[in-house]
Amino acid sequence: MKALVVHGGCDEGFLPDEEKRARLSGVRDAFQEGLLILKEMDSALDAVEHVIKNLEDNPHFDAGVIGSFNNMIGEIEMDAAIMDSNESAGGVIRIRNIAHPISVARKVMEEMPHLLLCGKGAEIFARISGFREVSPEEQHGNVDQREIDKLPEEFRNFILEYTERLKEHKLFSTVGAVAIDSKGYIVAGTSTGGIAKAFPGRVGDSAIIGAGTFATFYGGSSATGIGEGIIRVGVTRKVVEMVENGTPIQEACSRVVDICSRRGFPCGVIALDKDGNAGISHNGHFMPTLSIKID
């Protein structure tokens, strides 16, 4: 038995029909690539990595240097994590100028004694590991010195205004995948470019184990939405722990999203249990997903 489930982010804001079609098509293309790898190589780890790499290269998703949102000073800071059912995990936080953060996260999992690398450390590790760098010109933003210059002035008022600006952000096209291969090996991965106009250094849920990404022998899960809320709830860990305690996978996903809804923040989650059954739930207007179980 093998299984795969993929998501392309949960949006609560309005999306034109052509953008919805583009995201559905992007998820379909990545899903087909992952499914081929799962069938031919029988590797959940390779399938998840390649699905997410495909989506990181697609400008319609908030992941990778092409599609990620700029922070408030025009930089792109990306997070990614991957975890397997042996509870091995790796992640990168606030990495810049690297084409595929999910592959760096896998390298951290496989070769480093650390679980997470952040900022400059993540970039140094990526460079010495041979990952392709992209120049700032290939990204779609540059540092806005005007934003930096005004920070010290009336900082308290700035934070209040900034908080109000964040409420207008309604697009969360983070990407993720979960796979299980015939050996029963489960892998979950997530990659994101954060939220639009985020304060520099802001960290969301995607690379936080148990929040945006989680896997054990009982199942794996990937989340999307408002990272601050997902971290507080511990969305993906909660889903997998419910499954471990006997809750069916779809019910677990739905119940956790209901918790997020009651707390007032958008959230989407995908998951697989150890039998290859998929769960998908969200409280937004649109979340492109695909899943399959092959007996």
Q: Catalytic positions, please?
A: 174
CA atoms within a 13 Å half-sphere pointing along the CA-CB vector of 229: 17
Residues 176 and 34: their CA atoms lie apart, in Å, by 12
The tokens for 61 are 């998703």
Structure tokens at 135: 């120049």
Cβ atoms 219, 188 nearer than 8 A: no
Instruction: Give the containing element (helix H, strand E) for 145.
Output: helix 145-150
Q: Which two tokens stand for residue 91?
A: 């992640």
Q: How far apart are CA 92 and CA 129, in angstroms?
A: 14
Tokens of 47: 């399938």
Residue whose C-alpha is closest to residue 5's, from 291, 220, 236, 280? 291
Distance CA 75, CA 70 (A): 5
What is the distance between the alpha carbons of residues 110 and 112, in angstroms, rounded to a whole number? 6
Q: Where are the beta strands (DSSP E) in the chain?
A: 2-7, 78-84, 89-95, 116-118, 175-180, 186-192, 213-216, 219-225, 267-273, 278-282, 289-294
CA distance 259 to 182: 33
**Is-contact 141 76, C-beta < 8 A?**
yes
